[in-house]
A and B are shown apart, each in its own frame.
Chain A
Amino acid sequence: MIIISISVGVIFSVVTALGLIRLPDVYTRTHAASKSATLGVLGILTGTFLHFLLIEDHFNPQLIIAIAFLFITSPVSGHLIGRAAYMSGTELAKETVRDDMKILRKKTEDPK
């Protein structure tokens, strides 16, 4: 149980690092970072929580609070990084569909 959760966390942290290296632009990297990093850190925290609970007989509520906190904050951080990059940044190639988001960007660049 403990071994499984900690190894899952480590594997997904490695996947996050690989994704940050391999993926082409800011948005796809944000995908990797916001999803896999969350699950990686969650796995490691769950593993430590279970270790202290089962082996040391010590219930540690701070770890549960940290898990909940990560759950709440990671999608928001991914969204904010993506939005900031979009409002100031560039796109890569292979972009298929571009919708009305362009209008939003134009409005922020030259406010009337």
Chain B
Amino acid sequence: MSLQILLNFFLAGVWMFITDNFTPSGFAIGYLVGLLLVVMMRRFFSSRLYLYRIWAVISLFFLFLKELVLSSFAVFKLVIQPRLNIKPAIFELETELKQDWEITLLAALITLTPGTLVLGISDDQKKLYIHAIDFEDIEDAVSSIKNTFERAILEVSRS
């Protein structure tokens, strides 16, 4: 994947040398031509075309923003209401992510979802321990949210 990006930049440089046009616009044109070449040569790469992965990263970022706003409003409602009827709990969640950066990203996203906070990770990195602020009505919703996040992260890291 990074090989494809490097190759695309290299092709843009070659294009600037060919056309003797060392300007940003020349680089942009060369980059587009190189992108076309990389798309044509995608059979020879071992991983996916890198545009898909960039798109996955962008969609993950927007998911992140949406979750931050939703969780802030959840805390807002919880603080404003006159009587606190919350049931905090700590539950565990099995994750199928393998690499360190994936688990870190998942923990950060879970921490920013409504009413959940990651407290720890087991030694074999297979379970996350999550503190939920209101356990009764949130568990199913939380697990569905986790599934969306895990799927988004797996979508990013899929080769």
Q: Which residues of A are at the interface with B, using a C-beta cutoff of 8 A? A: 12, 15, 18-19, 22-25, 27-28, 30-32, 34-36, 38-39, 42, 71-72, 74-76, 78-79, 82-83, 86, 92, 94-101, 104
Nearest residue, chain B, Cβ from A82: B119
Neighbouring A residues of B107 by C-beta, 8 Å: 75, 79
With beta carbons under 8 angstroms apart, the residue of A24, A31, A78, A83 that contacts B115 is A31
Nearest CB of chain B from residue A109's CB, rounded to whole Å: 14
Contact B88 A32 (CB under 8 A): no
Contact A100 B122 (CB under 8 A): yes
Contact B87 A94 (CB under 8 A): yes
B129 an interface residue at 8 Å Cβ cutoff?
yes
Q: Is the interface of B mostly helix, strand, loop or mixed?
A: mixed
Neighbouring B residues of A92 by C-beta, 8 Å: 88
Q: Which of B72, B91, B118 is most buried by chain A, counting CB atoms within 10 A of its CB?
A: B72
Contact B88 A28 (CB under 8 A): yes
The interface bits of chain B over 117-157 (1 if a CB of A lies within 8 angstroms of the residue's CB, else 0) are 11110100001010101011000000000000000000000
B92 an interface residue at 8 Å Cβ cutoff?
yes
Contact B91 A23 (CB under 8 A): no
With beta carbons under 8 angstroms apart, the residue of B68, B69, B92, B112 that contacts A100 is B92
Classify chain B's interface size.
35 or more
With beta carbons under 8 angstroms apart, the residue of A31, A34, A78, A99 that contacts B92 is A99
Contact A79 B118 (CB under 8 A): yes
In the docked arrangement, what's the CA distance between A101 and B93, Å?
11
Contact B135 A97 (CB under 8 A): yes
Nearest CB of chain A from residue B8's CB, rounded to whole Å: 25
Contact A101 B75 (CB under 8 A): no
With beta carbons under 8 angstroms apart, the residue of A27, A78, A83, A99 that contacts B91 is A99
Nearest residue, chain B, Cβ from A101: B129
Contact B84 A99 (CB under 8 A): no
Contact A39 B91 (CB under 8 A): no
Q: Which of A23, A92, A101 is most buried by chain B, counting CB atoms within 10 A of its CB?
A: A101
Neighbouring B residues of A18 by C-beta, 8 Å: 79-80
